[in-house]
Amino acid sequence: MTIKTLILGDVIGAPGCRALFVGLKNLINKKQVDLVIANGENASGGRGIAPSDMEALFKSGVQVITSGNHIWQKKEIIPYLESEDRLLRPENYPKGVPGKGTCVIQVKGASVAVCNLEGRVHLSNIRCPFKVGEDTVRLLKGESRIIIIDFHAEFPQEKEALAWYLDGKISALVGTHSHVQTADERILPKGTAYITDIGMTGPVETCIGMSIETAIKRSLTQMPLKMEVEERQAEINGVLLTIDAETGYSKAIERIKEKSIL
Q: Which of 54, 136, 58 is nearest to 93 (CA)?
A: 136
Contact between 11 and 37 (Cβ < 8 Å): no
Kind plus residue range of the DSSP H or E element containing 31: helix 13-31
Looking at the DSSP bridge assignments, the partners of residue 210 are 207, 229
Please classify residue 59 by burial: count the beta carbons closer than 10 Å to its beta carbon, then call 0-12 exposed, 13-18 middle and 19+ buried: exposed
Contact between 175 and 197 (Cβ < 8 Å): yes
Contact between 15 and 234 (Cβ < 8 Å): yes
152 part of the active site: no
The string over 184-193, giving b where at least 16 C-beta atoms fall within 10 Å of a residue's C-beta and e elsewhere, is ebebbeebbb
Contact between 50 and 241 (Cβ < 8 Å): no
The catalytically annotated residue of 70, 152, 177, 179 is 70
Residues with a catalytic annotation lie at: 70
